[in-house]
């Protein structure tokens, strides 16, 4: 899609030009690894210049080294990992606790999985699944570097995911068009692409919801802006599952979901780079009532 056509489309949801302009110079963020250190200890130890965020273990990096954050001693030792602030929202909202049974159904390369493990203090169980067998090696490397021991990996198609187990907390960070994370994604994207991938997202979300135990919580997220990829799959779950409820989110500098899908979508959150100072995202919290 041509840039001007894309801006016209995006302007239906937010201030299009500030949104796309901000994507070209977003800051870097890191997460202190709670399995190896505390935020206070990390701040005393690191040589990086960092600024706190509203998440106690997340920091914005000022003047990152020319060699890259992945080449720092902080990263090599597993005391920190790189992750956008937006990407940290799903595990933060899910709030996994020690002893929980967590499914990350589209897990690789493992940012959200390892964040969940840190919040759980390596206690409880995480099943980290990904369809792409090649990406699982990156997931395993991150698990090892960050000292995660409560996680097992699985290689299944999320849309056909099967297991005999039930989970009380689930993350569905669905494959998407990436309009919020890739500033050039609009050059090959069109609305038909979103409608097509929406079917895959819905299939994954349905499979995940089917293994969520009553009283459990599921977080659905993407890094894009299209309603076909964001509100639509969630709407289908709510429409076909009377026990599904969309719970209110409290995320600073976010916008509510689109009310054209129902008044309950005010409880979801749209994240725009020019307001949140991190990549574009969509997050919804679904509870399966008892």
| One-character DSSP codes across 172-207 | EE-----TTT-TTGGGT--HHHHHHHHHHHHHHHHH
Q: What is the distance between the terminal CA atoms of the chain, rounded to a whole angstrom?
A: 45
Q: Tell me the sheet residues that pair with 151.
A: 126
Q: Hey, is 25 helix, strand or coil? A: helix
User: Is 19 a residue of the active site?
Assistant: no
Which residue out of 19, 106, 116, 223 is catalytically annotated? Answer: 223
SS (H, E, C) 48-75: CEEEECCCCCEEEEECCCCCCHHHCHHH
Report the alpha-carbon distance of residue 242 to residue 238 in Å, rounded: 7
Residues with a catalytic annotation lie at 223
């Amino acid at each position: 899609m041509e840039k001007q056509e894309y801006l016209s489309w995006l302007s239906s949801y937010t201030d299009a030009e500030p949104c796309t302009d901000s994507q070209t110079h977003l800051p870097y963020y890191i997460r202190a690894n709670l399995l190896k250190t505390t935020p206070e200890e990390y701040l005393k130890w690191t040589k990086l210049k960092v600024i706190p965020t509203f998440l106690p273990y997340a920091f914005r990096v000022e003047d990152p080294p020319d060699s890259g954050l992945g080449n720092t001693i902080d990263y090599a030792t597993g005391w920190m990992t790189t992750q956008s602030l937006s990407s940290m929202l799903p595990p933060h909202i899910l709030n996994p606790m020690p002893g929980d049974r967590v499914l990350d159904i589209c897990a690789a390369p493992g940012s959200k999985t390892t964040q969940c493990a840190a919040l759980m203090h390596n206690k409880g169980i995480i099943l980290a699944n990904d369809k792409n067998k090649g990406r699982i090696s990156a997931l395993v490397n991150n698990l090892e570097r960050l000292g995660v021991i409560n996680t097992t990996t699985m290689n299944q198609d999320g849309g056909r995911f099967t297991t005999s187990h039930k989970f009380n907390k689930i993350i569905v960070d669905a494959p998407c068009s990436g309009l919020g994370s890739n500033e050039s994604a609009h050059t090959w994207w069109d609305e038909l692409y979103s409608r097509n991938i929406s079917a895959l997202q819905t299939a994954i979300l349905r499979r995940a919801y089917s293994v969520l135990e009553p009283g459990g919580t599921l977080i659905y997220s993407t890094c894009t802006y299209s309603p076909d990829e964001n509100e639509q799959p969630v709407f289908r779950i709510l429409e076909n599952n009377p026990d599904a409820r969309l719970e209110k989110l409290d995320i600073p500098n976010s916008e509510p979901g689109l009310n054209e899908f129902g008044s309950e979508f005010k409880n979801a959150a749209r994240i725009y780079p020019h307001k949140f100072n991190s990549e574009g995202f969509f997050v919804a919290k679904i509870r399966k009532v008892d």
